[in-house]
Amino acid sequence: MADLDIPPARQLIDGAWVAAADQGELPVLDPATRAPIQPVARARAADVDAAVAAARRAFPGWAATSPTERGAILRRWADLIAAHVDALADHEARDVGKPRSGGRLNMYIAHGIVDYFAGAADKLTGVTLPTRTPDYFGYTRPEPYGVCAVIIPWNVPAVLTAANVAPALAAGNTVVLKPSEIAPLAPFALAELARRAGLPPGVLNVVTGLGPEAGTALTGHRDVDHISFVGSTVTGRAVMRAAAENLVPVKLELGGKSPNVVFADADLDVAIPAIVTSITENAGQNCYAGSRLLVEESIRAEVVERVAAGMAAVRTGAWDQDLDMGPLVSQAQYDRVRGFLAEAPTAGARLVTGGESAGGRHGDGWFVAPTVFDGVDSGMRLAREEVFGPVLAVQGFRGVDEAVALVNGTDFGLLTCIWTSDVSRALRVAADARSGQVAVNQFHDAGVIGFPFNMQKESGFSRGGGYAALREYTQEKAVAVRLLDRPSA
């Protein structure tokens, strides 16, 4: 491949681009037009078998490669990502439907992640253990699991490829990656760059296929040693059941219903644009999307009005128009989000802006308008369930206790964003929020390097992100040694 075009109807197994064993194909569509972009292979059990076998064969050699050399290959991979940002971004923007600049931002993030684990590969250490007498020696060795299965969704495929594949490889594992059938092109392109960076055949294999075919074949495979799953909570439960069957460790990164919590002393000039971006970036299709706005009653009217104005000003268009927001990714997502739009007013929520599909303005694309509902009650589906679209649910609160009760009022526990000028209050809410991540006076973790992507409750359990991700992809062996008497000279 001279450039980063993906060979049609192929997948990457054992270092080669091959068709599905039964020649099956799946279409990848442009969500702005519903037109096909290109077919990819439709992997089934035979293809998954071939990929796992390739990863198994490659494992001893890769695990025995010096961590410094593994790091060097990852660094070359990172350099190639940096050199191909535009081509990678176009792949991701096109099949997910996000603006081209959003795709580019994702590639900078993916590059940063691979670069981080390139540097971390030879810094993974065990510990020496204290002993009761000097006649013993104890230590731990971090060891790779072997063949890691990585299953990811369609919303940020490049970032999720980097965040799971890079630490797994750095720690000496080999990988079979199954991207979503809806948006596999950026993961394919990243894997091709890893191959060009010198990753040996079989160390990273990428199969594309449907969840009930390729996904279940992978999670149920007897020769897989570790499963990482990123996706919906419903599928996460099925993946965990499959992992239980083979007794392999599983890492789950699932859905969210993250709140922006705005106190009356917040700097609204900073908060308002961040709140709008938090629910319109990637058309609201982010696990950490700020889908709930919890606002102190004394400023509620002002905040709702300003957020609604910001949402109404969001420009929507196809990926190559590079505006603020694209369409939803698929017909299923479109139907799902429109179901919430239809139900919320009948359940008693007040529509402030949006509320309609915006397809008419954009031909056949799966567009919906950025939407704000005020007066949302905790019992409504809109307050509790993940919409995965640009739909914001507003609830008012009085005082810290009520705010914390609302924060913790869903089954999810991914991210809580707190907006206030009172640092003591921010730290109290940060301590009481049942979420894996907290951000104060910003949305998400901008500016922090290696921020652990932690989850609580039904958002899953993961130590992905940062140095802890290396631990996630290693098992610890404990070694105890008795020092025998020195033979006499």
Among 30, 181, 225, 281, binds ligand NAD (CB under 6 A): 181
Contact 227, 174 (CB under 8 A): no
Site for ligand NAD in 1-40 (CB under 6 A): none
* 404 near ligand NAD (CB under 6 A): no
Smallest gap, in angstroms, from Cβ of residue 233 to ligand NAD?
A: 6
Residue type (1 letter), 255: G
Taking contact as CB under 6 A, which single stretch among the options 12-20, 37-45, 176-184, 270-278 is the one that binds ligand NAD? Answer: 176-184
Q: How far is the C-alpha of 109 from the C-alpha of 106, rounded, in Å? A: 5
Nearer to ligand NAD, 219 or 316 (CB): 219
Nearer to ligand NAD, 209 or 310 (CB): 209
Among 71, 202, 215, 390, binds ligand NAD (CB under 6 A): 215
* 258 near ligand NAD (CB under 6 A): no
Nearer to ligand NAD, 215 or 390 (CB): 215
- In the chain, what are the helix, strand and coil shares in percent, each to the nearest 5? 40, 20, 35
Q: How far is the C-alpha of 88 from the C-alpha of 107, rounded, in Å? A: 7
Please state, as a whole number, how many other Cβ atoms lie within 10 Å of the Cβ of residue 21: 16
Nearer to ligand NAD, 231 or 396 (CB): 231
Site for ligand NAD in 133-152 (CB under 6 A): 151-152
Nearer to ligand NAD, 73 or 147 (CB): 147
* 253 near ligand NAD (CB under 6 A): yes
Site for ligand NAD in 382-401 (CB under 6 A): 386, 388
* 164 near ligand NAD (CB under 6 A): no
Nearer to ligand NAD, 344 or 469 (CB): 469
Among 71, 97, 255, 326, binds ligand NAD (CB under 6 A): 255
3-state secondary structure 180-214: CCCCCHHHHHHHHHHHHCCCCCCCEEECCCCHHHH
Tokens representing residue 397 in the block: 């609160």
Closest CA to 51 of 144, 148, 143, 145: 148
Tokens representing residue 365 in the block: 């694309």
Q: How far is the C-alpha of 272 from the C-alpha of 459, rounded, in Å? A: 26
Tokens representing residue 286 in the block: 């982010």
In degrees and rounded to multiples of 5, residue 38 shows phi and psi of -170, 160
Closest CA to 159 of 113, 100, 119, 196: 113
Smallest gap, in angstroms, from Cβ of residue 257 to ligand NAD?
A: 9
Interface pattern 36-75 for ligand NAD (x via CB under 6 A): ----------------------------------------
Residue, CB closest to ligand NAD: 211
Smallest gap, in angstroms, from Cβ of residue 287 to ligand NAD?
A: 3
Contact 242, 226 (CB under 8 A): no
Length of the chain: 489
Dmax over Cα atoms in the chain, in whole Å? 92
Among 212, 360, 447, 487, binds ligand NAD (CB under 6 A): 212
Can you name the residues that pair with 456 across neighbouring β-strands?
413
Among 164, 205, 219, 437, binds ligand NAD (CB under 6 A): 219
Residue from 92, 192, 253, 386 carrying the catalytic annotation: 253
Q: How far is the C-alpha of 85 from the C-alpha of 344, rounded, in Å? A: 40
Nearer to ligand NAD, 202 or 284 (CB): 284
- β-pairing, 350-353 vs 226-230, is unpaired
* 230 near ligand NAD (CB under 6 A): yes
* 231 near ligand NAD (CB under 6 A): yes
What is the 8-class DSSP label of residue 61? H
Any catalytic annotation for residue 458?
Answer: no
Q: Strands (DSSP E) along 338-406, which ranges?
A: 350-353, 371-374, 391-397
Host H or E run for residue 36 = strand 35-41
What is the 8-class DSSP label of residue 298? G
Interface pattern 283-322 for ligand NAD (x via CB under 6 A): ----x-----------------------------------
* 211 near ligand NAD (CB under 6 A): yes
Which active-site residues does the annotation give? Answer: 253
Q: Which residues of this chain interact with ligand NAD, rule CB under 6 A? A: 151-156, 178, 180-181, 211-212, 215-216, 219, 230-232, 235, 238-239, 253-256, 287, 386, 388, 460
